[in-house]
Amino acid sequence: MQVAELWRYPVKSLQGQRLTTVDVGPEGLAGDRQWALFDVATGYGLTARRVPDLLFLAGRLRPDGAVEVVLPDGTVTSDDAALSDWLGRSVALRAAADAPGERMYENPNEVGEAGEYDWDAFPGARGAFHDSSRTRVSLVSADTLGTWDRRRFRANVVLDGAGEDALVGQRVRLGGAELDVVKQVDRCVMVTRPQPGGIGRDNRVLKTIHRERDGCLAIGALVARTGTVAVGDVLTA
């Protein structure tokens, strides 16, 4: 397998940036999940599980390393008031370095007969705004994706070929970096959410993953050795 696409998501749950090369550090791809929007009233970090409209915003890094958010009408901002106005709730855009304490997010617990969700709060990882401290880089193959749009799954690395699930428990080399593949990535309602570019709401995606893949799609890894990864690099176990 080799790298077909590289993606970083500067702001948690927003659209990301496609890259041709990127440095991989201890917390994952440089700039990945280094900012998040927090609900001022609850103190919880927001994700598209709870606020699907986040997927219609895009996060991108400026050359000076700061972050900015692109609204659907093309407006570029990092202003909390502008973001709050668009989302219809009071939010604060925070950097991981400025949020050293416990970060709480919400997961849907179960679906009611009318399609409602019960929500459970859970603590996320320290450092970059990953949901879990058990993974810093996610990878998925084109074979596993099939006809599904890869943007539903927000993997950092899309691989040509097949067979990534067999890498769990192994150390792999990808470009100048080495990764310890620790788990399959379990999936939630977020993969069903609509997104820009004609990706519609589709509850069948998650149902199929549960039925055919035991609820998991893609693999998650920790960084064993930092280095640079580029499109075209071959993954070796």
Tell me if 87 sits within 8 A of 95, measured CB to CB: no
Cross-strand pairs, 111? 117
Answer whether 159's CB lies under 8 Å from 139's CB: yes
In tens, the pLDDT along 6-46 reads: 999 999 999 999 999 999 999 999 999 999 999 999 888 89
- Pull the structure tokens for residue 221: 């890894």
- Whether the CB-CB separation of 127 and 108 falls below 8 Å is answered with no
In this predicted structure, what is the pLDDT of residue 189?
Answer: 87
Determine the pLDDT at residue 103: 76
From its phi and psi, is residue 154 left (phi > 0), alpha (psi between -120 and 50) or beta? left
Task: Return the structure tokens found at 107.
Answer: 């997961």
Question: Each residue's pLDDT tens digit in the chain (237 positions)?
Answer: 999 999 999 999 999 999 999 999 999 999 999 999 999 998 888 999 889 999 999 999 999 989 999 999 999 999 999 999 999 999 999 999 887 677 767 766 555 544 555 666 666 677 888 888 889 999 999 999 999 999 999 999 999 999 999 999 999 999 999 999 999 999 988 999 999 999 999 999 999 999 999 999 999 999 999 999 999 999 999
The pLDDT value given to residue 236: 96
Nearest to 117 by CA among 54, 187, 188: 188
Cα distances (angstroms) measured from residue 234 to each of 1, 125, 163, 206, 229: 6, 29, 14, 30, 10
User: Which domains occur in the chain, in start order?
Assistant: 2-236 (2.40.33.20)
pLDDT of residue 105: 74
Tens of pLDDT, residue by residue over 182-191, are 999 999 889 9
